[in-house]
Amino acid sequence: MSNIRKCKVLVVGAGPGGYVAAIRSAQLGMDTVIVEGQRAGGTCLIRGCIPSKAMIHAAHRLHNICDHMDEGGHMGISVTAPPVLNMQGLVEWKEKIVTKLNKGVEHLIKANGAELITGWATFVDAKTVSVKTADGEMRIEAEHVIMALGSVPTELPFMPFENNVISSKGALELQNVPEHLVVVGGGYIGLELGITYKLLGSEVTILEAMDSVVPIFDKEVRRPVELYLKKNKVKVHTGVFAKGVEDIKGGKTKVFFTPKDADKDEPPQEIIADKVLVTVGRRPNVKRCGIEATGVSLDEMGFVKVDERCATNMRNVWAIGDVSNMGPMLAHDASFQGELVAEIIAGKKRIYDPVAVPAIVFTEPEIVSVGLSPDEAKEAGHPIITGKFPLGANGRALTQEAEKTAGFIRVVAREDTHQILGIQCVGTHVSELSGEFTLALEMGAVLEDIAGTIHAHPTMSEIFHEGVLATLGHAIHTTN
């Protein structure tokens, strides 16, 4: 007979939503169990955000050394021989970071009083799971269940993940740099990893069905990224559909694609690749967990339906993060929801109603978007004013060569009240500014609040101050 463990709160999945929910639940004095089939940390920490950012950093460091060798050096620094990339060493270094953070998450869960159980959980009903652990099978029964099941890469039926066709997870585990990498999907994941491998030495070709890469952003924001891709000879085919692959001799793969306006009798075009990275989105991880036994409602895409409290249609069953239909599929949003649900269970009155959730793309240059774009603000009926400030006019950006990507900040505000509605920023190193942007919107800041705040010099944060001054019509360090 299986061991039975009863608890107040059961969290299924120890990703950025799940482990935060478990920690906060335990902090609030509730008997909490969290179950994870692999390593605590989830997709973001183990096989997504963190390892990809580590590889992006390494790729930039390698590129910066190599980029000026033929010019006899740069900034007075030169090298006498080309640097050598050991891909296995890079992957090992990346894994050390992942392991350190994984152990840190496990320690935090236990130190706060939650019980972490490693094993695969299958729902028996809405409040019960059966878990296969290394020590055998056990049963967990809870008063409240928080589904933090996460998501998995979307697999194309005509391009399954096998042989040379890889997901983002596979791209982070390659032991050799492919000579030619074809990326199917020009969204943020495809561009981040595509640019990374370009900097590591691969030839990179991107196939995107939409008319532009990162189509979630407007043309003005996309432009610096598109220029970077062109300058660095990343081949981009937009308005095309991938049609399939065929393994050929020499360990390579032939990729077939057609323009979306092609005649139906027109033969597909072909590209020869060493690896094919498919990044066409992610889907909720609801297969093989017995979710049908819970009675929770799913939408047409397979996401768990929740209300403004992240509650499902089943009493005391909650869903957070990527598996739910609430909010964007972002790690920081999942963590926010995890804390929210824990506090609701503990009796606090809370709902999911953030003013803005920051979106960041770690391409070169980076893109940050918080709140409404000018077009979105107009569509919402706001009378708006906007202001821009170039990174090239910021001293700190110049000292870090962050201005070379033609980056800028753009501020969107209401014309009548001067309330800030949105901020978009594109450029090297700008991701670290996202916190200030989000705080400004969450606090309901008006332009004068930022204009009257002293920003330290020399820092990149000054571009926000200058962008606000530009919106008010009196920027100091630019004539635009």
Last residue of a domain, one of 295, 320, 345: 345
- At 271, list the tokens: 């590209």
Residues 238 and 268 in one domain: yes
E strand or H helix that includes residue 127: none
Residue 116 and residue 105: Cα distance in Å, rounded?
Answer: 10
Residue 320 and residue 149: Cα distance in Å, rounded?
Answer: 8
The CATH number of residue 238's host domain is 3.50.50.60
- Residue 13 in any domain: the answer is yes
- Residue 331 in any domain: the answer is yes
Q: How many CA atoms lie within 13 A of 309 on its CB side?
A: 18
Residues 217 and 366 in one domain: no
Residue 386 and residue 409: Cα distance in Å, rounded?
Answer: 10
Residue pLDDT, tens place only, 218-247 = 999 999 999 999 999 999 999 999 999 999
For 418: left if phi > 0, alpha if psi spans -120 to 50, otherwise beta; the answer is left
CA 305 to chain CA centroid, Å, is 22
Per mean pLDDT, which range of 258-267, 328-337, 459-468 is the poorest?
Answer: 258-267
Residues 46 and 19 in one domain: yes
Residue pLDDT, tens place only, 384-413 = 999 999 999 999 999 988 777 889 999 999
β-strand partners of 129: 123, 140
Residues 266 and 291 in one domain: no
pLDDT at 107: 97
β-strand partners of 35: 12, 117
The pLDDT confidence band at residue 330, using thresholds 50, 70 and 90, is: very high
| Residue 1 pLDDT > 60 | no
Q: Which residues constitute the domain of residue 257?
A: 165-280
Residue 321 and residue 202: Cα distance in Å, rounded?
Answer: 34
Residue 465 and residue 389: Cα distance in Å, rounded?
Answer: 9
For 143: left if phi > 0, alpha if psi spans -120 to 50, otherwise beta; the answer is alpha
Residue pLDDT, tens place only, 242-292 = 999 999 999 999 999 999 988 888 899 999 999 999 999 999 999 989 999
Residues 393 and 439 in one domain: yes
Whether pTM exceeds 0.75: yes
Residues 276 and 288 in one domain: no
- At 247, list the tokens: 């393994």
Cα–Cα nearest to 191, from 181, 201, 179: 181
The CATH number of residue 411's host domain is 3.30.390.30
Q: How many domains does the chain have?
A: 3
Residues 291 and 276 in one domain: no
- Residue 159 in any domain: the answer is no
- Residue 247 in any domain: the answer is yes
Residues 144 and 187 in one domain: no
- Residue 160 in any domain: the answer is no
Contacts of 92 (CB under 8 A, 6+ apart): none
Residues 325 and 377 in one domain: no
DSSP 437: H
Last residue of a domain, one of 265, 280, 295: 280
Q: Pairing state of beta strands 115-118 and 32-36?
A: parallel
Residues 245 and 115 in one domain: no
Last residue of a domain, one of 227, 250, 280: 280
Single out the catalytic residue among 382, 457, 474, 477. Answer: 457
- Residue 158 in any domain: the answer is no
In the residue annotation, 457 being an active-site residue is answered as yes
Cα–Cα nearest to 183, from 77, 277, 312, 313: 277
| Residue 24 pLDDT > 60 | yes
In whole numbers, what is the pLDDT of the chain averaged over residues? Answer: 94
pLDDT at 83: 86
Q: Helices 18-27 and 87-111 meet at what angle, rounded to 10?
A: 30
For 299: left if phi > 0, alpha if psi spans -120 to 50, otherwise beta; the answer is beta
Residue holding tokens 């409240």?
Answer: 144
Residues 24 and 104 in one domain: yes
pLDDT at 2: 62
Reduced to 3 states, what is the DSSP secondary structure of residue 189?
helix
Residues 299 and 183 in one domain: no
Residue pLDDT, tens place only, 52-80 = 999 999 999 898 888 766 677 778 888 87
φ/ψ of 253, rounded to 5, equals: -135, 135
- Residue 352 in any domain: the answer is no
Q: What is the mean pLDDT of residues 318-339?
A: 97
